[in-house]
Amino acid sequence: MRRGTDSPGLYRLSLVRQISRPVVGGLFPNWFGDSLDGTLARYRAIERPHYGYFIDHSSDFIAQTLIVVGLGVSS
């Protein structure tokens, strides 16, 4: 393993630049969309406090699970 690389997954990611740039580039739209949906619902006055909370946290849990599984598979 190269010096300065803490995990095997990051080392492999540095080997595949074609994949790493779109993945990192996709994090911003994901964060922006996740932050914007509640604000937009409040602005339009169509918020659904309990259902929206459930959907938001469920989708966040699924995304986090996929990230952790991906990190586990990469090492």
Three-state DSSP string of the chain: CCCCCCCHHHHHHHHCHHHHHHHHHHHHHHHHHHHHHHHHHHHHCCCCHHHHHHHHHHHHHHHHHHHHHHHHHHC
Token couple for 25: 């580039």
Whether pLDDT at 30 is above 80: no
What mean pLDDT is predicted for residues 46-71?
Answer: 82
Average pLDDT over all residues of the chain? 75
Residue, of 72 and 62, whose pLDDT is higher: 62
Q: What is the rounded CA–CA span in Å between residue 75 and residue 55?
A: 31
Whether pLDDT at 61 is above 60: yes
Res. 10 pLDDT band, cuts 50 70 90: low
Q: What is the rounded CA–CA span in Å between residue 68 and residue 75?
A: 11
Which position has the token pair 């080997």?
15
Q: What is the pLDDT of residue 12?
A: 66
What mean pLDDT is predicted for residues 61-74?
Answer: 83
